[in-house]
Amino acid sequence: MKKRTYFILSLLALCGCVSSLYGRVVKPVSALPGKATLTLSALQDKIKGGWAGQTIGCTYGGPTEFQFKGTMIHDYQKIVWYDDYIKDLFSSDPGLYDDVYMDLTFVEVLEKCGFKAPADSFALSFAHHDFKLWHANQAARYNILNGMMPPASGNWMNNPHANDIDFMIESDFIGMMSPGMINSASEICDRVGHITNSGDGWYGGVFVAAMYSMAFISDDIDFIIAQALTSIPEKSKFYHAISDVISWHNQYPNDWKQCWFEFEKKHTSEVGCPEGAYNAINIDASVNAAYVVMGLLYGAKDFFKTMDVTTRSGQDSDSNPAVSAGILGAILGYEKIPAFWKPAIEKVQDLKFPYSDLTLNQIYKLSNKHAVQRIIQNGGELTNDQITIQVQKPETVKFEQSFGGMFPTYELLVRKDFLDETIKIDFTGNGIVVLGNVKSQCGVAKSDFVALLDVYIDGAKVEQDRMPYDYIVRKYDIYHKYMLKNGDHKLEIKWVNQNPDFRITMKSYVVYADAPAKLINPY
């Protein structure tokens, strides 16, 4: 009897209609088509939906960004929306849209330099812009402005924020110009993403671009996510984070909060970003991508619910709904985005986007132009008012891991200003990150002052670092060093061009070792 039952269940499973041990229904897996045909108007509508959705989502979650760290936003906490909201934030808080204006910067490079534009072209363009950046973006900008070009600029040995969310929230444009061409998207991701990120931080962008790419040929959320995940190496932490969300969604199909709790328990220990290793903030790409996937799965193609679940998952809760709403916007097309959200986006479509010379109406057309060109270059055909895409079977990108063999073991909060003293730190481990910045004593907003810091490890001078006061070109962390021989070390940082109008503010430092810290039991 058991054998007969197992045979029947196996047969039903092949048909896609068997309940699992958790009582869920296993959905049939969509087949990847060899070709996909869209009208030109449908292609344009999907691209417009992607950009509009991204902008709406970023705005919706804006006030909550990193206000809820390691906790969800409860249902009773209202999130504001009104018809002039986007227009107001364009002028009052333009830095909110960093994930969109970085996209636009890269699109402009493609328009000027072509689809084979080298990584250096993208790198130099954003590094010399005057918009505000944070985390991996800013660390990479500093590297580039100081002579370190990609992929070194985004490699974790040179960028303590390499696993952060930055490329994930800036890869939308790659997917939108690669409809159904997931591998072509990955190739551009290789050039662009390694400017700022590596490892899981890079995978975040590959995954998001892949989901956008699939959004043009399918409206099946499960299928889109599964195909995109095929691009990611199975042995990566990123892959396991997303596959676990899929499993928990299957187990708890009507309870996104239970899925969220299960994820928090297993996947939210921060390793890379030194701000998050001993803090509630978590800007890791795998964590925030998981919130995007939760929104898409539990939103079930409802525009508001998709955005709302992603936002209420917390952490980078403006950039995350920008991604989920952008992907759903590409799936639905602009025309099917509910009318409630459209007045806000339509009031700004002819305004220059913050830190850009492009308007949204211009980017809709430019992105559509690039998509048509890419489709034809990759074997597609344009006939009258229809375009046929040669759909690509996803190929897994190369495996890479950031912060391998590095475990945060200790943090000391310092919060001290230095002028004529040498920063001295004795530590035991294989790496250290010193957090801080240059601070003005006079309250000046703008200055070209650059502090020069001589760095010594174990008595030997290893480098001289430049720390600009200017916020736009600042060094994100005072100093970092990884992969030292595990053991006792002495770090000294000497300020060689001291200026009484400024101070070096050390906030804290994080020590790493080659094994996790052991729990100390006082009894």
d(CA 295, CA 320): 9
Residue pair 348/90 in contact by the 8 Å Cβ criterion: yes
In this structure, is residue 267 part of a structural domain?
A: yes
- List the one residue out of 93, 81, 100 whose CA is nearest residue 343: 81
Task: Flag whether 64 is in a domain.
Answer: yes
DSSP 3-state of 193: helix
In a domain, 1, yes or no: yes
**Highest mean pLDDT of the ranges 13-17, 25-29, 270-274:** 270-274
β 502-513/450-457 pair status: unpaired
| CATH (domain of 132) | 1.10.4080.10
**What pTM did the predictor assign?**
0.93
Is residue 221, in this structure, part of any structural domain at all? Answer: yes
In a domain, 310, yes or no: yes
Amino acid at 17: C
Q: What is the Cα–Cα distance from 243 to 214, expressed in whole angstroms?
A: 18
Q: Is 125 contained in some domain?
A: yes
pLDDT score at 31: 84
CA distance 433 to 134: 16
Residue in 265, 296, 316 with CA at minimum distance from that of residue 99: 316
Of the pLDDT bands very low, low, confident and very high (cuts 50, 70, 90), residue 518 is confident
pLDDT for residue 474: 97
Q: Which pLDDT score is estimated for 281?
A: 94
Domain end among 361, 390, 419: 390
For residue 11, what are the domain limits? 1-30
The answer to whether residues 263 and 345 belong to one domain is yes
* pLDDT recorded at residue 521: 79
Question: What are the pLDDT digits (tens) for 460-506?
Answer: 999 999 999 999 999 999 999 999 999 999 999 999 999 999 999 99
3-state secondary structure of 489: strand
Mean pLDDT, residues 286-300 = 98
Residue written as token pair 């954003």: 126
Q: Which of 390, 420, 435 is at the close of a domain?
A: 390
Residue 11 pLDDT exceeds 70: no
> What's the angle, vertex CA 306, arms to CA 305 and CA 310, rounded to 5?
110
Phi first, then psi: give them for residue 441, nearest 5 degrees: -90, -15
Q: How many domains does the chain have?
A: 3
Q: What backbone torsions phi and psi does residue 45 show, to the nearest 5 degrees?
A: -65, -40
Give the residue-averaged pLDDT of 252-269: 97
The mean pLDDT value for 502-517 works out to: 96
- 518 belongs to a structural domain: no
Residues 245 and 273 reside in one and the same domain: yes
Q: Hey, which residues does 427 pair with through a beta bridge?
A: 489
> What number is the average pLDDT over the span 349-366?
96
Residues 6+ apart with CB under 8 A from 141: 126, 127, 133, 473
What residues form DSSP beta bridges with 359? Answer: 352
Under the banding of pLDDT at 50, 70 and 90, the label for residue 3 is very low
Query: What number is the average pLDDT over the span 100-122?
Result: 96
Q: In terms of domains, do 430 and 362 share one? A: no
Band (520; pLDDT cuts 50, 70, 90): confident
